[in-house]
Amino acid sequence: MRAAAVHNFLCFCSSSNNPTLPLSNNQQENHISTTKPKNVPPKILLSSSTSTELSVQFKEKILCLEMMGVDAGRALSINPSLHTASLYSINSIISFLQSKGIHQKDLGRIFGMCPKILTSSIKADLIPVFRFLSQDLKVPDHSFRKVVKKCPRLLVSSVKDQLKPALFYLQMLGFKDLEALAYQDPVLLVSNVENTLIPKLDYLVSLGFSRDDAVGMVLRCPGLFTFSVENNLKPKFEFFIEEIEGSLEELKEFPQYFAFSLEKRIKPRHKEVVENQLKVPLSLMLKSTDKEFKELLRQGGE
């Protein structure tokens, strides 16, 4: 399947660069020999040769990406700079990441999730990030792979403008466990403080929680900082208040409520509880496995 995808993509590149069908090598030679006008300036011939060479290099670059398991079309769309990046520079980045413990088999997922890494500057972008992981988060060299696999976006985040400010803000709130930040919640470090972290905390306060309570909630459930207000927090809070008729105290004690799927977990579980005319603590209703939940209903709730 992958070989076919590569072939189709390369054929597309050939046809898009030339509206006519691609010619074989012999056809190209005959075509040039029979149609080349007299007295063609050497620069034009050189330009044609250079264009052909660049086309070949581009196809080799696409093949390289596809062989790693990267969707080349998507990568080029997200990161247009890849169009002009040399295969040498891409290979340099691959070699650098492997020197940091990243395995060959990891590259497809890492580059697929964050194609901008492929055109990063090793000196200006990548080295500072690994220095940050080592010095600020105390991540040992042999654990770089685990952290990068968890959050590839770290590699394209500015240490000065993004990673260090986020770490400072999180520590100010009370996030003291650097190991947890590095291995479990590194996505928090790539979040913008002013545009993401502060507004999420402010939203919780707007619901009626004190700031201290809101901070306590994100410390217990860091995922609150990663959930969309409009698509996650708001609809789940409205269902909790209007349908479950719960209290803010319950959410303060169990902020993990927001981590469960509204349609696949919260609504169906609440429906069964109501139908069975039971009263079940929020955490028990959601954290129980399907088997445990059925047994809970059979026993009559609490």
Per-residue pLDDT tens digits for 96-108: 999 999 999 999 9
Q: What pLDDT score does 43 carry?
A: 42
Phi and psi for 83 in degrees, rounded to 5? -60, -40
Higher-scoring residue by pLDDT: 11, 263: 263
DSSP string of the chain, one letter each residue? -HHHHHHHHHHHHHHHHSSSPPPPHHHHHHHHHHHPPTT--HHHHHHHHHHHHHHHHHHHHHHHHHHHT--HHHHHHH-GGGGT--HHHHHHHHHHHHHTT--GGGHHHHHHH-GGGGG--IIIIIHHHHHHHHHTS---GGGHHHHHHH-GGGGGS-IIIIIHHHHHHHHHHT---HHHHHHT-GGGGGS-IIIIIHHHHHHHHHTT--HHHHHHHHHH-GGGGTS-IIIIIHHHHHHIIIII---HHHHHH-GGGGGS-IIIIIHHHHHHHHHTT----HHHHHHS-HHHHHHHHHHT--
For the cut 60, the answer to whether the pLDDT of residue 60 exceeds it is yes
Q: What pLDDT score does 301 carry?
A: 60
For the cut 50, the answer to whether the pLDDT of residue 257 exceeds it is yes
Q: What pLDDT score does 37 carry?
A: 41
CA-CA-CA-CA torsion sign (268, 272, 277, 278) = negative
Q: What pLDDT score does 51 carry?
A: 55
For the cut 70, the answer to whether the pLDDT of residue 291 exceeds it is yes
For the cut 90, the answer to whether the pLDDT of residue 22 exceeds it is no
Exposure on the CB side of residue 29, measured as CA atoms within 13 A: 2
Average pLDDT for the chain? 84
Q: What pLDDT score does 68 carry?
A: 87
For the cut 70, the answer to whether the pLDDT of residue 131 exceeds it is yes
Q: What pLDDT score does 172 carry?
A: 96
Q: What pLDDT score does 65 carry?
A: 86
Least confident piece of the model among 38-42, 243-247, 295-299:
38-42
Tell me the mean pLDDT in the region 67-83.
89
pLDDT, tens only, 188-239 = 999 999 999 999 999 999 999 999 999 999 999 999 999 999 999 999 999 9
